[in-house]
């Protein structure tokens, strides 16, 4: 799951641009590859975000063309993305020889100076990186921590004041002003800033953690416990907050949230990286997260963020490796095992994924997220019997199901519908709608299923119409409406909607088959056979293929009058 780490994600995501996500790639460099070959292969791997392979290829090219500025800059960025920070520092110095304004090179070298206690030199590098909005934000936060290293609270806060020019940076400013004041033992200023940060970002995990930590160390445990309880009441229960609440109730005194200026700089980088999770900014977010891992003391949280980033960019093996770094005993360990299982499943290693989740549930049978994830894997593998039974175990854990629980009832409904246990399926679909009325996917699936069975056709038609109103560009839902008209023998309307569905999802075999069926009914038999052939070419399931081939050979039988109690038809619930 993506934790709500950030002080303000919206403040960052619009400030950056990056390549689109692509598939994972791996391999070894062929021996004897030419300079141009290594360069082109490196560029291709970098485009696919296979940064480790790209780094190797471009490093090979650089060994043949050591003074090439473009190669030096690209290798620097790739080393940083791979977490090879020591090597990145070496390349950063080379980058600045031909590009004195390179923001990330200045940040890397500034952090090296900060770690060595050279605070003035660090500030100069950070100041040099202060252009473009994201550069200004990063520079101000890091310069403030460099001043904190020199025990100068006033200048640290003055550095943060430069963020006042952008209202969207207020939460970053307030959080780090609080952390710096806390580190420098100015409790009054720290509390004032924590309050402003908490009021400005009620869903930020890190603000809740840091403020609660401060309150506990001030001897105000009940206030911290109230803050933790409120945070979890406002959303899904977070394991880090739950652990802090339990420890506070035991009377355990936490260590300071930030132990040093270096740790503070790591937290600043983490604050930024955790906000850079959309496709436009995630590649820069990866660099910041790798730097945060080197400087922050909170390794489990940062490894979780790295796992999330790798997962978002389809680098499942790297995601698994990052989640595995979260130690046993960490509040994030269960979450890591769930994410590892999800990534194993994506890698088509479902038996390992199932075994991982079963191991987790053996030590904690009440882990709702693990039960639901296990059900999802069974369902994805079309093991509907185990899926249905697993979802029922998850539902049994819900003493009072809330709106956000509609999906588990919906998934249970799908599992039983696929087992042809319609009474049980309908019960779960209707329960999902009770929890989340108007949910398009449930309206579509339930309405479509009733249309297929030719029961409650008026209600089913109303459901599917509502689903289309909510999602007019969803091909599966538009297909359901067209098929409903077909079942009611309103072929003119059926043609309109099924043609639209095929436009939206031209490669779906069942939608193509449906359009062929309605063409046949309106006398457009040549076009019908063309659609059925197209459906066949789109690789339908074996049972569907047999039916489609029969239509290509024989067409449709004579029309059967519509009767509400009749079952039958073909279908695609999307």
Locus of tokens 């039988």 = 557
Domain boundary among 250, 284, 305: 250
143 inside domain: yes
174 inside domain: yes
Those residues of the chain that have pLDDT short of 70 are 1-67, 560-574
Domain boundary among 250, 279, 306: 250
Entry pTM: 0.84
The whole-number pLDDT of residue 33 equals 53
377 inside domain: no
The whole-number pLDDT of residue 64 equals 52
- Hey, CA dihedral for 540, 546, 547, 552, is it positive or negative? positive
Q: What is the domain range of residue 514?
A: 438-574
108 inside domain: yes
410 inside domain: no
In this structure, the number of other CB atoms found within 10 A of the CB of residue 236 comes to: 12
Cα 240 to the center of its chain, rounded Å: 19
Phi and psi angles of residue 21, each rounded to the nearest 5 degrees, phi first? -65, 150
Query: How many domains does one find in the chain?
Result: 2
144 inside domain: yes
Q: 490: domain CATH number?
A: 1.25.40.10
Domain boundary among 250, 275, 293: 250
57 inside domain: no
521 inside domain: yes
Q: What is the pLDDT of residues 129-187, one digit of tens each?
A: 998 889 999 999 999 999 999 999 999 999 999 999 999 999 999 999 999 999 999 99
- Complete DSSP assignment for 465-486: HHHHHH-TT-HHHHHHHHHHHH
Q: Calculate the dihedral angle through the C-alpha atoms of 198, 201, 206, 208, rounding to the nearest 10 degrees.
A: 40
């Amino acid at each position: 799951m993506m934790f709500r780490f950030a002080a303000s994600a919206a403040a960052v995501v619009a400030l950056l641009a990056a390549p689109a996500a692509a598939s994972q790639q791996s391999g070894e460099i062929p021996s004897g590859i030419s300079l141009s070959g290594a360069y082109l292969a490196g560029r291709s791997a970098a485009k696919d975000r296979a940064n480790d392979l790209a780094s190797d290829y471009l490093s090979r090219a650089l060994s043949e063309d050591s003074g090439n500025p473009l190669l030096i800059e690209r290798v620097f960025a790739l080393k940083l993305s791979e977490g090879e920070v020591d090597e990145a520092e070496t390349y950063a110095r080379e980058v600045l020889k031909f590009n004195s304004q390179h923001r990330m090179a200045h940040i890397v070298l500034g952090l090296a100076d900060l770690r060595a206690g050279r605070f003035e030199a660090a500030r100069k590098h950070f100041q040099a990186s202060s252009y473009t909005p994201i550069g200004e934000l990063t520079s101000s936060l890091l310069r403030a921590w460099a001043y904190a290293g020199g025990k100068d609270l006033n200048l640290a806060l003055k550095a943060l004041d430069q963020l006042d020019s952008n209202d969207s940076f207020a939460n970053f400013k307030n959080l780090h002003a609080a952390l710096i004041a806390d580190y420098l033992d100015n409790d009054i200023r720290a509390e004032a800033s924590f309050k402003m940060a908490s009021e400005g970002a009620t869903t930020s995990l890190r603000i809740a953690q840091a403020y609660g930590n401060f309150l506990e160390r001030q001897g105000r445990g009940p206030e911290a416990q109230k803050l933790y309880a409120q945070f979890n009441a406002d959303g899904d229960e977070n394991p880090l907050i739950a652990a802090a609440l339990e420890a506070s109730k035991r009377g355990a005194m936490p260590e300071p949230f930030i132990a040093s200026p270096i740790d503070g700089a790591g937290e600043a980088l983490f604050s930024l990286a955790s906000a850079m999770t959309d496709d436009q900014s995630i590649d820069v977010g990866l660099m910041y997260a790798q730097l945060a891992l080197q400087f922050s003391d909170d390794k489990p949280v940062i490894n979780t963020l790295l796992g999330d980033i790798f997962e978002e960019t389809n680098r499942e093996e790297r995601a698994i490796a990052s989640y595995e770094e979260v130690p046993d005993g960490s509040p994030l360990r269960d979450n890591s095992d769930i994410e590892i299982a999800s990534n194993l499943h994506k890698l088509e290693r479902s038996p390992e994924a199932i075994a991982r989740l079963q191991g987790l549930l053996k030590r904690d049978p009440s882990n709702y997220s693990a039960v639901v994830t296990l059900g999802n894997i069974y369902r994805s593998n079309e093991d509907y019997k185990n899926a249905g039974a697993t979802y029922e175990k998850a539902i049994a854990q819900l003493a009072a199901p809330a709106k956000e629980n509609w999906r588990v009832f919906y998934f249970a409904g799908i599992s039983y519908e696929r087992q042809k246990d319609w009474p049980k399926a309908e019960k779960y679909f209707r329960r999902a709608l009770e929890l989340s009325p108007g949910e398009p996917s449930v309206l579509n699936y339930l309405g479509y299923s009733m249309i297929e069975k030719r029961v409650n056709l008026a209600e089913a038609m109303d459901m599917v119409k509502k689903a289309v109103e909510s999602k007019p560009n969803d091909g599966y839902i538009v297909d359901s409406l067209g098929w409903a008209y077909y079942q009611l023998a309103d072929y003119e309307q059926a043609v309109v909607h099924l043609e639209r569905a095929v436009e939206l999802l031209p490669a779906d075999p069942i939608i193509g088959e449906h359009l062929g069926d309605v063409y046949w009914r309106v006398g457009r038999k040549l076009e019908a056979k063309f659609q059925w052939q197209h459906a066949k070419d789109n690789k339908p399931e074996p049972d569907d293929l047999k039916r489609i081939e029969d239509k290509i050979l024989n067409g449709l039988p004579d029309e059967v009058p519509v009767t509400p109690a009749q079952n039958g038809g073909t279908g695609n619930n999307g």
